[in-house]
Amino acid sequence: MKKVEQVQCFENNLLLIVFLTTVPLQKSIILRNRLHYFSFIHLLTPLSKNKSKNHMYKNLRLSIERKIPLTDEEWNFVVEKVEFIKLKKNEYLQIQNSNSSYEGFILKGAFKIYILNADGTESVIFFSFENEWMCDLESFYHQKPTTYNIKAIEDSEILVISKKNKAILFEQVPKLIQFHILLVEKANIAIQQRLIDVLNKTSKQRYLEFIEKYSHKADKINNRNLSSYLGVSHEFLSKIKKRC
């Protein structure tokens, strides 16, 4: 089975890739989820000067250049194609069944990715933090409605790119195709690892591993969200914390 097919296969059972949705720049919109919560998303106009962008987006360039080198000309092509979005805590980046998705890189902040179930409960699938890539592979590449809610759990800043702009970027900087392949491989590994963890590890083991991996962000996640992520009750999470 090809790697992309593996990713999509695992997504059908357990999604571990973060989804991005936005609207045209220079607008503020109100989004509503199925529980009728409201949130404003403030979309910022792209910075007018590449010099300012280069300074602001330096972590994006560092992330890319860990895998492939970029000339200044190639980097400028990247800067021209990405868009900047800023959200405050508890604002939504994406609502279930929305019709557009983007690939993105988190400059600052943290998100929870969750499903709103028919009974009104939440199932947290993933958390995502600074310097991590986010993409709904199926929605992004096959233009299907998204399935997950994405909510900022602290003030956040994200760079996103549309499928159209990414295709143009591949033509301008062909070496980015190799970077894309590496991202898909990483996504495939993350999905498989999450699935294995859920099936084979105890909630206590998954809690300890999560705290160790994201020790700098653990305090941003409340017990309700963390217990949903681990698949346990609030009370059982409290017992786990006491034993640890």
- Please check whether residues 156 and 221 belong to one and the same domain: no
Domain boundary among 161, 177, 194: 194
Q: Do 108 and 166 share a structural domain?
A: yes
Q: Are residues 140 and 240 in the same domain?
A: no
**Is residue 40 scored above 70 in pLDDT?**
no
Domains in the chain: how many in total?
2
CATH number at residue 87: 2.60.120.10
Provide the percentage of residues in the chain whose pLDDT is more than 70.
78
Best-predicted range by mean pLDDT among 35-44, 97-106, 114-123? 114-123
Q: What is the number of alpha carbons within 13 Å of residue 153 lying toward its C-beta?
A: 23
- Residue written as token pair 């994200």: 158
Kindly state whether residues 168 and 237 are assigned to the same domain.
Answer: no
Residues 189 and 205 in one domain: no
Containing domain of residue 241, as a range?
A: 201-244
Find which of 21-30, 145-154, 158-167 is predicted with most confidence, using mean pLDDT: 158-167
Q: Are residues 101 and 31 in the same domain?
A: yes
116-153 per-position pLDDT tens digit: 999 999 999 889 999 999 887 778 888 889 888 889 99
CA atoms within 13 A on the CB side of 100: 12
Residue 229: its pLDDT value, please?
Answer: 92
pLDDT at residue 52, as a whole number: 65
Whole-number Å distance between alpha carbons of 96 and 137: 15
In a shared domain, residues 209 and 163:
no
21 pLDDT band (50/70/90 cuts)? very low
pLDDT at 206: 92
Start-to-end CA span in the chain (Å): 41
Report the pLDDT value the prediction gives residue 12, as an integer from 0 to 100: 38
Strands annotated E in the chain: 28-32, 38-43, 83-87, 92-94, 103-108, 110-116, 122-129, 133-134, 149-152, 156-161
CA-to-CA dists, residue 56 to 79, 86, 108, 115, 176, angstroms: 10, 13, 11, 32, 21
Q: Is residue 77 located within the same domain as residue 131?
A: yes
Q: Is residue 167 over pLDDT 50? A: yes
Domain boundary among 162, 177, 194: 194
Same domain, 220 and 241: yes
* Cβ atoms < 10 Å from Cβ of 214: 15
